[in-house]
C-alpha cells in the first residue's frame, strides 16, 4: 500500500495513544507479507495473526526481520493446532478454555504469555469465559506452569454504542484488577488486551494496555 498513507495512519493512532504505556499491535491477517513488512519498517514490531496457517506463512516470509518482531496470536486456537504454533508465538490472546491450557502445558517448551479471553458482552458468537467464571478458572490454572496469565482480553460487539463500550471495557478492567490484587505468580494479570479499529479510543480511556488494530492502519481513504 501507499507508504505515506500507512505512516500517516500510524501517526494518527499513536497520537491518540499519546503518553499512555500501551502496546500497539498491528493486525496483519488481511494484508500480505509485503504490507506487513512496511508496517514493521514504519516502526511497529508487534504483529498479530488469527489463523495458524497464515501465521506460519507470514512468520516465515518475514524471518529475516526476527528476532525483533513480537508475534501475537489473536484467533481461536484449536487444540490440535497448539503443537504447530505455541513455541512460535510471543503472546496468545485467546486462552478461552481450560482444555486449551492443558494442551499448552503438554506442547510448550517454555512459559507462554497468555491473555484469558472473557466474553463480557455475552454474545453467543464469541468465545471465552463468562465473567463469573474468571476467578475460579484462574485458580484452576495454577497447575499449568507453562501458562502465564499476563492479562485479560475481550472483544466488544460490532454494533455496541459508546456507552456500552465503556461498560464492557470497564467491566474487564475491574476483573483484571481483582485478579491482579491476588498477586499470583502464574497470573500477574497486569495487562488488558481490548480495543480494535472501531473502538480502541474508548478502550484506551478504560485502561487498555494492548490494542489490536487492523483496518485503521491500512485504510487508504
pLDDT in tens, 185-195: 999 999 999 99
- Beta carbons of 88 and 110 less than 8 angstroms apart: no
**Hey, what CATH topology would domain 3-17+46-218 get?**
TIM Barrel (3.20.20)
- Beta carbons of 218 and 35 less than 8 angstroms apart: yes
**124 — pLDDT class (breaks 50, 70, 90):** confident
Predicted TM-score (pTM) of the model is 0.96
Q: How far apart are CA 189 and CA 177, in angstroms?
A: 8
Which pLDDT score, from 0 to 100, does residue 18 have?
Answer: 94
pLDDT at 152 over 80: yes
pLDDT in tens, 31-60: 999 999 999 999 999 999 999 999 999 999
- Beta carbons of 192 and 207 less than 8 angstroms apart: yes
Which pLDDT score, from 0 to 100, does residue 28 have?
Answer: 96
Which pLDDT score, from 0 to 100, does residue 72 have?
Answer: 98
Amino acid at each position: 500500500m501507499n507508504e505515506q498513507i500507512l505512516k500517516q495512519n500510524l501517526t494518527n493512532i499513536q497520537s491518540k495513544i499519546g503518553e499512555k504505556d500501551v502496546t500497539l499491535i498491528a493486525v496483519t491477517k488481511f494484508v500480505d507479507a509485503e504490507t506487513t513488512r512496511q508496517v514493521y519498517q514504519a516502526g511497529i514490531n508487534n504483529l498479530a495473526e488469527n489463523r495458524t496457517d497464515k501465521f506460519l506463512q507470514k512468520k516465515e516470509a518475514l524471518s529475516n526481520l526476527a528476532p525483533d518482531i513480537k508475534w501475537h496470536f489473536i484467533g481461536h486456537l484449536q487444540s490440535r493446532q497448539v503443537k504447530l504454533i505455541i513455541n512460535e508465538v510471543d503472546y496468545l490472546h485467546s486462552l478461552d478454555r481450560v482444555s486449551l491450557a492443558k494442551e499448552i502445558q503438554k506442547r510448550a517448551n517454555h512459559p507462554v504469555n497468555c491473555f484469558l479471553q472473557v466474553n463480557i458482552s455475552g454474545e453467543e458468537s464469541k468465545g471465552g469465559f463468562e465473567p463469573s467464571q474468571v476467578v475460579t478458572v484462574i485458580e484452576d490454572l495454577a497447575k499449568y506452569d507453562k501458562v502465564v496469565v499476563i492479562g485479560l482480553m475481550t472483544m466488544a460487539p460490532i454494533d455496541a454504542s459508546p456507552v456500552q463500550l465503556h461498560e464492557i471495557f470497564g467491566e474487564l478492567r475491574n476483573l483484571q484488577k481483582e485478579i491482579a490484587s491476588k498477586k499470583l505468580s502464574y497470573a500477574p494479570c497486569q495487562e488488558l488486551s481490548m480495543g480494535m479499529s472501531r473502538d480502541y479510543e474508548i478502550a484506551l480511556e478504560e485502561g487498555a494496555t494492548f490494542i489490536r488494530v487492523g483496518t485503521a492502519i491500512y485504510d487508504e481513504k
